[in-house]
Amino acid sequence: MRLMCRKLRTDVAPERALAALGLRAKTLGSAPPAALCGEWFSSRAVIALCASPSPVRNVAEAFAIPTRLPMVRDAVPGAVGGGWFGYLGYDLTDPSHRSGELPPAAWGWVDRVLRLDLDGSWWFEALLADDDPDPVGEVSAVESLLDEPLETTRWNSGPLSRPLPSEHYDAVKACVHAIEAGELFQANICARFTGEFDGDPIALFAEGVRCLPARRAAFLSGEWGSIVSFSPELFLARHGRNVRSTPIKGTLPRRNADDDHLAQRLRESTKDVAENVMITDLVRNDLGRVCATGSVRVPELLKVRPAPGVWHLESTVEGLLADGIDDADLLAATFPPGSVTGAPKIRALDLIAELEPTARGVYTGAIGLASPIAGLELNVAIRTFEIHDGTIALGVGGGITADSDSEAEWQECLHKSAPLERLLG
């Protein structure tokens, strides 16, 4: 297989490109596009012209699919080309075996992408059989499409229904009691907000990309429904044998660009710092299971970074995969992400199943792309809408430690959901 790259003569924004490709798919009756926007593969956006992710219900198969990549000759540095677009839902490994509305996992192969590089240039990239001609006509058609007048599409959604705050308080208190009893150090306890949805999920994602600076935004759609993710968090980036994870733990509301004093408060918070350090250690241990001895390190600890509506504490863990380890082994060692489960992870998974009344669905799983050229990148599926059959769901939650206060934890959920609820409304 070979790679073809062509630079396009357009400077449209990623949300404009995605919307145009969405209308093209409707006109042609083809599969919708898929998209990664923000900070992905050292680019600002990677958009598949069309993607048809198929449901996967077996854990081993879901982890194995991203490893099935062809050899590509004449690869260009920085290119993505295509690969497996998809997601791994939290339900895939939920010990309670509960299931949300969407399949536990889905992957789809794509061989045509548009990539917006860091300099603002768009590239048409294609993975082609060695004897296939270059799709010159397709490149010209897409280039013209991006600059045509665009019909506006919208969506309708009423206010999201929330569980009673007392239900979340009770779950938090029960988790604190388990921590005090020595069962675990931390667990992530979540709630699920739901509502009605009518309209175009691509329009929702495009508007969110325009007004919410999410670093790891992702859009996927299929016959099973749509996923609209505005995640700020990197779960895994694997380039060659180098692997990196950037867990987020620790949150305070962010009211404007000048509230740096809140960022300092977050850095000095005993509870938030303890949350982050515990999960960073868990991620370090997870990667240590599949990385070469002595290669795992923490180059960045407790960095304060902004996200839509909040400040976060994040750390970075990196390592070098051991010989013979592939992406299936990497996912088996690290999924679901430590930042949205707890420590120790196995006990946290069981406690989550006991305390949360509904399945998480895709929420707190991972979404992204495995490319034969660029490697693997997955977000943590937080700040993520799940759309299915006229309904929309949003999961929110936070890490619970021995110092957690039930009311403060509920308010954290509301701070995290607020920008997304405003987007819907």
Residue where the block lists tokens 């206010």: 159
Give the phi and the psi of residue 192 in degrees, each rounded to 5.
-125, 125
Cis peptide before 336 (omega within 30 of 0): yes
Give the phi and the psi of residue 322 in degrees, each rounded to 5.
-70, 160
- Decide: residue 270, CB within 10 A, 0-12 exposed, 13-18 middle, 19+ buried: exposed
DSSP letters spanning 138-159: HHHHHHHHHTS------EE--P
Q: Dihedral angle at the C-alpha atoms of 328, 330, 331, 332, nearest 10 degrees?
A: 80
Lookup: tokens for 410: 């509920």
Task: Report in angstroms the alpha-carbon separations of 65 from 54, 56, 197, 321, 336.
Answer: 11, 9, 31, 19, 17
Cα angle 348, 349, 353 (rounded to 5 degrees) comes to: 115
Which of the residues 233, 386, 409, 421 is marked catalytic? 233
Which of the residues 249, 356, 412, 416 is marked catalytic? 249
Coarse DSSP helix, strand, coil percentages of the chain, rounded to the nearest 5 percent: 30, 35, 35
Angle of helix 201-211 relative to helix 406-424, nearest 10 degrees? Answer: 110
Is residue 300 among the annotated active site residues? no
Cis peptide before 344 (omega within 30 of 0): yes
Q: Dihedral angle at the C-alpha atoms of 160, 164, 168, 171, nearest 10 degrees?
A: -130
In this structure, what DSSP letter does residue 130 have?
T
Give the phi and the psi of residue 362 in degrees, each rounded to 5.
-75, -30
The phi-psi region of residue 235 (left if phi > 0; otherwise alpha if psi is between -120 and 50; otherwise beta) is alpha
Is residue 138 among the annotated active site residues? no
Task: Report in angstroms the alpha-carbon separations of 73 from 2, 136, 377, 400.
Answer: 5, 20, 21, 48
Q: Which residues contact 168 (CB under 8 A, 6 or more apart)?
A: 189, 191, 406, 409, 410, 413
Tell me how far apart the terminal alpha carbons of the chain are, to the nearest angstrom: 46
Q: Which of 48, 51, 72 is nearest to 129 (CA)?
A: 72
Residues serving a catalytic function are 233, 249
